[in-house]
Structure 1
Amino acid sequence: MARLLTRRFLWKCVHFTTMVRCVTGPETTAQRQLQRTLYLINPREQTAGYYGLDVIESWAGVRGVTNLVDLTTPTVAALVPEGWQVEICDERIQPVDFDHRAAVVGLTGKVSQRSRMIELAGEFRRRGKLVVAGGPYVSLNPSDLAAHADIVVEGEIEEIAGGLFDDIAAGTWRASYTGTRPDLTLSPPPRWDLYPLRGGLAAQVQTSRGCPFECEFCDVIQYLGRKQRWKEPVQVVEELEMLYAAGFRDILLADDNLTVMRRRARALLEAIREWNDRRPGERVRFSSQLSVDIARDRPMLDLAAAAGLRMVFVGVETPNEASLAETMKRQNLHVDLVEEVTKIVNAGIMVVSGMMVGFDNDDEGIFERQLDFAARLPVPLITPSLLVAPHATPLYARLEKEGRLVEGALDYIGAGNMFRTNIVPRQMSRETLEDGARRLLLHLYRPAVVLDRLRRFVENSPTRPEPRPRPFFAGPVENALARGLMRLGDRDEPALLGYLHETTARRPEMRAQLQYFFLQYCQTRHNIEQLKRQAPVSPAMA
């Protein structure tokens, strides 16, 4: 569900930052009274990532599907004052309507959506629309988008939305609007009635904002703060009811650290468990993001599993303790990370692990160390990435002072390139780092290597009753994806597919987790094929 945007779940914390500029020229919207019509757009990303679903279109011919519905646009829509007409477009699901009648166009996005945000802003301004740009990336680097949009809003919008939209309607908008750190107990539920929910496989509910940790590379605390703020459990349940009624049975709790504040997390999970137990049909399966320190609290893990938590992202990052200390990821220090992750899996929760290379304490041996580390994890899905310094982070400030930031990096990082970085490494060249990260990905996703990790995950997962066993490859999309894998020609692929089929029959309670694994595995294999086409791959990398 913002940390390094190359490897995070799609959790976009809701920010709609606006700084308004009045400029002259053919691409400028002069200040004037405007009709109260708003077209909110979540742009597509330029490059496929770990959590995209490009593979479904490429291998199964199905368009307009996204892994996770956008949360920003319906949240902003809920804050627009009465009297406005609002429509939402998620470009991953539907094409942008450049002839839309709205007078105002709102754009949101992460850094990986930067290039597309700029394209859309330019096109709509040429058509005379007032363009408002916001979102996590704009909150971190507002000056970058200020040249491309009429209005850029910085910060969280809840407490400034009324004044912002009143000013726009009156034609009296200011040069900048800076949001606050609002009380989330006053936040209205998102306007899901305006969103194209038909295209989403999973929905989102944000229960908190902020994280008390201080990882040097993390951008979350820069625009959300280190003091975590929460919605009340009753608010969360209200949003869950809306999404359940809309047909969703997979929901991301889009928090940057769901359980870091134990007392609050316990109250929330108890409310969710009670709500889920009352479902008349299929229970909801939840996913979220946790830090590895949750492994030391088995009662909390058991409660999370009882509430329906079935998958979590955990940033294990690296086995190099010097690198963890360097970046102030203290929660990962002085523990056996393999053992801690195994404890989470033992509770019935699938772990997706983030892995990073490029820290100052990483030399060229880090790639082999990461491979050895990954081979011991009960984690079938690992998302390796390069260390990147996001704007406004302590890492960015430090490397800028040291003269170790790459000029022009936004051109490719802002296009979503997975294996480029904006840092100059300390102990190897940037080319060696980027090449090593690609080789790491390719080895981690060899079918035989993945199968070993998948078996370890299944063997460490507890059994649960499941009354309705169903075959794994039961639908046309699953079968099309399986055929797509076979076309790649790896001799170990049939063994992996056979294991999925056999395990689902033997352990039907794991079907949903295995289906999630299969979808993301296919997406990553699809990404790898694209990566091979973009850059020559030596035999050692294949």
Structure 2
Amino acid sequence: MSKLKVLPVYPKFPLTFWSFRKALEPIGKEAVMPPNGLATVLAMHPSDYFAFHRIIDMNVEPLTDAQIKSADIIETSLMIAQEDSNNDVVDRAHFYGKKVFSGGPSPTSYPERNQEADYLIQGEAELSFPIFLEDFLSGKARRIYSEKDLDVLARNKFVKLSKGSKPLLENTPVPRWDLVDLSKYGSAAIQYSRGCVWDCDFCDITQLYGRESRTKTPSQMTSELDALIREGYNGPVFIVDDNFIGNKLNVKELLPALKQWQDKNGWPFQFFTEASMNLAWPSNKEILEGMVDSGFTEVFTGIESIDEDVLTGMDKRQNFRMSPLEAVHTIQKAGLTVSAGFIIGSDGEKPDVFEKLYQFIQDAGIVIPMPGLLTAGKNTRLYNRLEKEGRLRFETNGNNTHQLGFNFEPQLDEKFLVDGYVSLLQKLFDDKNFYDRCRTLESNLGRHPDTSKANIQGMVAFGRSLKNQLFTDGGWEYFKYLAGSSLRNPKNFPEAVTNAIKLHHFKYVTKSMAQAHGYVTKTESYYYQFEQYLKELSNDYTLSDKVSQVRKKARGILRKAEKGYKQLHEDFRSDAIQRYEVLKERLNQELEKYHLPGQESISV
């Protein structure tokens, strides 16, 4: 029997803060990190039955028809924000008669939005995927397989389960990095743990992965690092955990092993990860210092809010065991850069939220803040509460940074929140404000690795950065920051260049978002201009001339609206096209008032 040829495809993300698309261009990279989940699942296939095409990451390269035609099976893994791209992949695969397997957070939480895929693998693949493959190869596979299915649990022979019936990770295979061109990415990606001990009401992690923090062993982790080395990779490595320090006992065993591995291999990697704010607590000093000792340089943490009442409503009281400002500075002084997430639109939020949040971020020296509008994701306690209260509007699309609106009815006025959010982003990513935070971080940051080797690509990109940023708006602030950084701390100059390049991305995305937001306001003004025109229209016109003038005016307005729409970045057009269609409908409703019986339609 010939082997089935699998074409693994990772769908495209829209342009967001997280894509870092404009920051990657100067250093010759195409995407932030490779698809760890998809590469791991590929390692679960029995080699006797399957052969593999390299992974086609659509964030790096286009998927071609020839690639689809050459495969027997298409396999995709997707998050919610990738649904549109994935649906396009499925349609193209079906056009050529190919079956599609889809897995990941989107098929798990929203199977109804993945109806076109032939097979859905829900939950963690260690349990359900091997059993699905067994049934598929024997010709009796059903459409959906879940780790919660009774027959999946009954047929499981090899995977040990946690107390919460989640798969332990001790047998999770090393990802197939041989199927990925790692040189295309800004960082590599490995996973240490799943699950989170906290249970914030807006977060779906505990629903997807449970409240136990299940980890890989130190030897598994060093094996994964060995695999990256074999593929010739060195540079940043993102440990893609939702909370790296969820299992503190195991983390304390891992960190010395990472340091030993780094010593043995010449320190090829710089680690960064996500962790809860209790990393700053005195009781976790050993972990914090161990992270710095083993090569961690940055941590992302979910601060979410600096309002204690809001945090209490989120069930995130742990963030106020230590003042947020003190917590950030504690982590920075230990030697880690802090980036952070913030949420706008929670119940109990005060009207001064934007002013206070801006000042906190500046004072804390958080160079990369990630504010986002609150979304109620399916299966979260927030979602269930809002549903009971009748406040839900629609399901989330997974992009909370640049889709300007809420999928529920917020307590504060929505226009106030959205306008304030747009203004906050513009203020945060103003050149002077951004570089002020960089300087604050420099003064706060404790012992930090020599990044000259790690950021050599940033130095290569320096020339491109000068070309892109020095002679543009904000160029003087750019020059002052880099010149000052080179004098204050020459060893960290490549990191300063990297920060400046990141600002280029944030400004681009924020400008694109602000233009889309402004378009919504413009379409309203266009309609009111048309109304005013109708009121002032001279009665000296004959009815026929009046119809002609009104129609001409409506068409002119619509052309102007269409031109503005086409100038928007394609990833920000979804709200704009809706507003355009609403404007068109309202104009036609007004035109109908001038329509005479027996006359052909005068709609635009």
Q: Which residue of 2 aligns with 1:30?
A: none
What is the aligned partner in structure 2 of residue 255 from structure 1? 241
2:462 to 469, 474, 478: 478
- 2:45 alignment partner in structure 1: 80
Aligned partners of 2:300, 2:510: CA distance in 1, in Å?
21
Give the distance between the partners of 2:423 and 2:290, measured in 1 at CA.
39
Partner of 1:535, secondary structure, is helix
User: Do residues 442 (structure 1) and 409 (structure 2) align?
Assistant: no
Q: CA deviation at 1:96?
A: 0.8
The aligned residue for residue 503 of structure 2 is 521
2:292 alignment partner in structure 1: 305
Per-residue deviation at 1:363? 3.3
Q: Does 1:329 align with 2:320?
A: no
The alpha-carbon deviation at position 527 of structure 1 amounts to: 0.3
Partner of 2:382: 395
Q: Tell me the equivalent position of 1:217.
A: 202
CA distance in 1 between partners of 2:89 and 2:449 (Å) = 50
1:452 is the counterpart of 2:436: yes
Q: Distance in 1 between matches of 2:457 and 2:476?
A: 13
Q: Which amino acid aligns with 2:31?
A: T
- Map residues 54-453 of structure 1 onto 2, 5 A cutoff: 54-55=21-22, 60=26, 65-82=30-47, 83-87=49-53, 88-99=55-66, 100=68, 101-145=70-114, 147-179=115-147, 181-245=166-230, 246-280=232-266, 282-296=267-281, 297-407=284-394, 410=396, 413=398, 417-428=402-413, 430-453=414-437
Q: Distance in 1 between matches of 2:400 and 2:274?
A: 25
Query: 2:500 and 2:78 mapped to 1: Cα distance?
Result: 27
Q: Which moved more, 1:503-512 or 1:396-405?
A: 503-512
1:221 is displaced (CA, Å) by 1.2
Q: In structure 2, what is the equivalent of residue 4 of structure 1?
A: none
Is residue 371–residue 401 contact of structure 2 (8 Å, CA) maintained in 1? no
Q: Distance in 2 between matches of 1:472 and 1:390?
A: 40
Q: TM-score, normalised by structure 1?
A: 0.85
User: After superposition, what is the alpha-carbon deviation per residue over 1:30-84, rounded to whole angstroms, capped at 9, x for unaligned?
Assistant: xxx99622111111112x1122132157x75x87611212211110110111220
The answer (yes or no) to whether the contact 1:463–1:507 under 8 Å persists in 2 is no
SS at match of 1:352: strand
Deviation at 1:479, TM superposition (A): 2.7
Structure 2 CA distance for partners of 1:64 and 1:471, relative to 1, 3 Å: closer
1:219-277 deviations in whole A, cap 9, x for unaligned?
11111111111100000001111213322221011111112322111111111011112
Whole-Å separation in 2 of the counterparts to 1:354 and 1:295: 16
Question: What do residues 197-220 of structure 1 show as CA deviations (whole Å, max 9, x unaligned)?
Answer: 221121011011110100111111
* 2:251 partner amino acid: A
Q: Paired residue for 1:461, among 438, 445, 458? A: 445
**Residue 37 in 1 paired to residue 14 in 2?**
no
Residue identity in the other structure for 2:81: S
Identity %: 25
Q: Structure 1 residues 465, 271: CA separation in 2 closer, same or farther (over 3 Å shift)?
A: closer
Counterparts of 2:199 and 2:458, CA distance in 1: 45
Offset from partner CA, 1:9-39 (integer Å, 9 cap, x none): xxxxxxxxxxxxxxxxxxxxxxxx9962211
Q: Structure 1, unaligned stretches of length 5 or more?
A: 1-32
Aligned to 1:12: none
**Counterpart-to-counterpart distance in 1, 2:457 and 2:466:** 8
Tell me the amino acid that sits aligned with residue 510 of structure 1: N
One-letter identity of the residue aligned with 1:188: P
Aligned mates of 1:381, 1:413 — CA distance in 2: 20
Tell me, yes or no, if the aligned pair for 1:276 and 1:307 is still in contact at 8 Å.
yes
Question: Matches of 1:528 and 1:213 in 2, distance apart?
Answer: 32
Query: What is the number of residues matched between the two proteins?
Result: 496
Tell me the amino acid that sits aligned with residue 143 of structure 2. A
Aligned mates of 1:437, 1:313 — CA distance in 2 = 21
Of Structure 1 and Structure 2, the greater helix share is in 2
- Paired AA for residue 84 in structure 1: F
Q: Which has the higher contact order (CA 8 A, sep 6+)?
A: 1
Query: Highest Rg: 1 or 2?
Result: 2
Letter matched to residue 311 of structure 1: E
Q: C-alpha offsets along residues 137-174 of structure 1, whole Å, 9 cap, x if unaligned?
A: 221222221x2211111111112322212322333211
Tell me the distance in 2 between the aligned counterparts of 1:272 and 1:469.
19
- C-alpha distance 249-475 of structure 1, shift in aligned 2 (>3 A): closer
Match of 1:16 in 2: none
Distance 2:11 2:462 in 1: 27
Asked if the contact 1:465/1:509 (under 8 Å) is kept, the reply is: no
Q: Which residue of 2 aligns with 1:531?
A: 513
Instruction: Identify if the C-alpha distance between structure 1 residues 272 and 415 changes in structure 2 by more than 3 Å, giving closer, same or farther.
Output: closer
CA shift, 1:473, in A, is: 9.5
Where has structure 1 moved over 6 Å in runs of 4 or more? Answer: 467-474
Deviations 1:406-425 (A, max 9, x none): 23x55x65798443331210
Q: State how far apart, in whole Å, the 2-side matches of 1:470 and 1:231 are.
A: 26
Q: Which moved more, 1:205-214 or 1:271-280?
A: 271-280
Question: Does the 8 Å CA contact 2:334/2:447 hold for their aligned counterparts?
Answer: no
Tell me: CA distance 1:66–1:460, structure 2 relative to 1, closer, same or farther (3 Å).
same
Is the contact between residue 300 and residue 338 of structure 2 (CA under 8 Å) also seen in structure 1? Answer: yes
**Alignment-mate amino acid for residue 514 of structure 2:** K
Q: How far apart, CA to CA, are the structure 1 residues paired with 2:391 and 2:241?
A: 32
Distance in 2 (alpha carbons) for counterparts of 1:141 and 1:363:
33
Distance in 2 (CA, whole Å) between partners of 1:463 and 1:175 is 53
TM-score, structure 2 as length reference? 0.77
